[in-house]
Chain A
């Protein structure tokens, strides 16, 4: 062991933080809180990765998860804005199935951690983690993958730009209704007046 004790201390603290905030995701009563508890959990894991000398992966984890959780939270709140997600609500569904799935995946991962044989070939300390990770992942195909990545992203942004003034059913400025299911029929997907209260339960 050639690392200081403080690394162990931090590992334990961060692991506890990751597990506790992961548990809070399911115990909290609001969507925004749940997504940001998940973010805290991921950040703790990211710091553990940095401790394990996987610097790039750890930092990339912060970056990706921050944006991802933000988008998730904003979309959830947008669809259920009222009142700012601060009214308590039940955040858990399908209890029995989730408990079973959780237990099984925990057992599988724990078995992997305990039973698998991990390779043991120490690397020299002066190796550049970013460069070696890139070579490991992409190797000779680096240029192709990078170009493809940029092209894909450009395409996505192009699509956003082209469609930004069009809603799903027409131009943004004009207001719009979804088309009918039969030609000239009533707009599809609109809630019926007398249907209030029915068919809206998807919890329990």
Chain B
């Protein structure tokens, strides 16, 4: 088949990639976000390549197949540090992050020019539940009510409303584990009235996230504070990138991400970023005091969330190395979404300042029986998965409020592998089993 001018033109488009975020696959996606000619999209319908980044536990292969089949033809799959599904044994697997973007572009080009066939469908194209039409009006119920055509219950199963007494009809759906707005791996069952969340039940916890190896070394012996603090700032800036992108501030999100990738960011540039955020209306328009944590919950979550709620919980104040640098934990009072972001920005600035100071004096940590990770204090026990607290926190919020609250809360468990060694790490199930043992 001759390649038409339309196909040649299409091959020049930036490559729309839908990322399935598996275990330890995050890092490469940050790099792709800064790569020209690659666009990370939010819906599998908008993509031409399915990038499975990181391992997926076998019990979530069903969900992975469903995502796979949602991509419109022609499309291809690429597996980054991940084992392709058995049906797709011939699919491309790449483990080197440096060649990934080139491979994505080449793959898109081949797809558009017809040199590569579309990935095959894995599931039969039929409704997930049978049509159970019965009765007068064909939907299995009586009159206008009842019945479950295609597995969807008809109206009239009203829940008591939790907000204003207006009992509207409700809809229950399962979301995740690959929904790009949720933390990777988190899967939930949500009941909605309109866009108001009535119930939120966590089904699968999010995948553990890998920290840089310096945090692990800090538990073995003294490490340079500069290195520790820069790693902390990097982690928070990447987290901020995700939330800003979600809030529709793509340009500022990329600024935050670039700061994270610079080896020696100036704290002044973080201050500039904060001023630009305030001016753009990020605090005024997208956060309205939701997601407030009470003291006990905040203590359970730890880290930024605890300090944003006014708790001075910070292992760094225990360490003489830090005390020598004049470290004092920063806190906010409100404990809501906006406060958590103000706290995050203030801490990033503080971390970079501490790093600059510590570099001059070559200050090292003194205690090695604990370390302050970006997720909270790691002393005797490490920060655990806290995603079940969402079940109480999110009901009553609108969808947008719930997601911005979720983005501001860091609830993921920590991986026993560091970022540097995560490529060889087994997938979540193995880790979960190991932890249980």
Q: Are A87 and B164 in contact (CB under 8 A)?
A: no
Q: Are A80 and B156 in contact (CB under 8 A)?
A: yes
Provide a sorted-by-A list of 21 A–B residue pairs whose CB atoms are within 8 angstroms.
A81-B169, A81-B170, A81-B171, A82-B153, A82-B157, A82-B170, A87-B152, A87-B154, A88-B138, A88-B149, A89-B144, A170-B164, A172-B164, A175-B162, A175-B396, A176-B163, A176-B165, A178-B165, A200-B145, A200-B156, A202-B144
Interface flag for B137 (CB, 8 Å): yes
Q: How far is the CA of A89 from the CA of B142 in the complex (A)?
A: 10
A contacts with B: majority SS: loop
Q: Are A90 and B156 in contact (CB under 8 A)?
A: no
Chain B positions within 8 Å of A80 at CB level: 155-156, 169
Interface flag for B6 (CB, 8 Å): no
Closest to A78 in B: B168
Q: Are A201 and B143 in contact (CB under 8 A)?
A: yes
**Closest chain B CB from A159 CB (angstroms):** 16
Q: How far is the CA of A54 from the CA of B180 in the complex (A)?
A: 52
Interface flag for A177 (CB, 8 Å): yes
Chain B positions within 8 Å of A81 at CB level: 155, 168-171, 193-194
- Name A170's contact: one of B136, B145, B165, B193 (CB within 8 Å): B165
Number of A-B residue pairs having CB atoms within 8 Å of each other in the complex:
83
Question: CB within 8 Å of A: which residues of B?
Answer: 136-139, 142-145, 147, 149-150, 152-158, 160, 162-166, 168-171, 193-194, 396
Closest to A174 in B: B163
Chain A count of residues within 8 A CB distance of the other chain = 29
Q: How far is the CA of A29 from the CA of B136 in the complex (A)?
A: 13
Q: Are A90 and B143 in contact (CB under 8 A)?
A: yes
Those of A4-41 within 8 Å (CB) of chain B: 29
**Closest chain A CB from B290 CB (angstroms):** 11
Q: Are A88 and B139 in contact (CB under 8 A)?
A: yes
Closest to B156 in A: A200
Interface flag for A162 (CB, 8 Å): no
Those of A174-204 within 8 Å (CB) of chain B: 175-178, 190-191, 200-204
- Name B164's contact: one of A82, A89, A167, A200 (CB within 8 Å): A167
Q: How far is the CA of A79 from the CA of B154 in the complex (A)?
A: 12
Chain B positions within 8 Å of A79 at CB level: 155, 168-169
Chain A positions within 8 Å of B152 at CB level: 82-83, 87
Interface flag for A168 (CB, 8 Å): yes
Q: C-beta contact mask, A78-107 vs B, less than 8 Å → 1, else 0?
A: 111111100111100000000000000000
Q: Are B137 and A167 in contact (CB under 8 A)?
A: no
Q: Are A172 and B144 in contact (CB under 8 A)?
A: no
Interface flag for A169 (CB, 8 Å): yes
Chain B positions within 8 Å of A178 at CB level: 165
**Closest chain B CB from A1 CB (angstroms):** 50
**Closest chain B CB from A199 CB (angstroms):** 11
Q: How far is the CA of A84 from the CA of B150 in the complex (A)?
A: 13
Q: Are B157 and A203 in contact (CB under 8 A)?
A: no
Chain A positions within 8 Å of B165 at CB level: 167-170, 176-178
Q: Are A167 and B166 in contact (CB under 8 A)?
A: yes
**Closest chain A CB from B147 CB (angstroms):** 8
Chain A positions within 8 Å of B168 at CB level: 78-79, 81
New A-B contacts (7) at CB < 8 Å, excluding given A81-B171, A200-B156: A80-B169, A82-B153, A89-B154, A90-B137, A168-B164, A172-B164, A175-B163
Chain B positions within 8 Å of A201 at CB level: 142-143, 145
Q: How far is the CA of A191 from the CA of B160 in the complex (A)?
A: 9
Q: Are B145 and A78 in contact (CB under 8 A)?
A: no
Chain A positions within 8 Å of B166 at CB level: 167-168
Q: Are B164 and A176 in contact (CB under 8 A)?
A: yes
**Closest chain B CB from A46 CB (angstroms):** 31
Chain B positions within 8 Å of A84 at CB level: 171
Q: How far is the CA of A177 from the CA of B164 in the complex (A)?
A: 8
Chain A positions within 8 Å of B164 at CB level: 167-170, 172, 176
Closest 6 CB pairs of A and B: A167-B164, A80-B155, A203-B143, A81-B169, A83-B152, A90-B137
Q: Are B136 and A204 in contact (CB under 8 A)?
A: yes
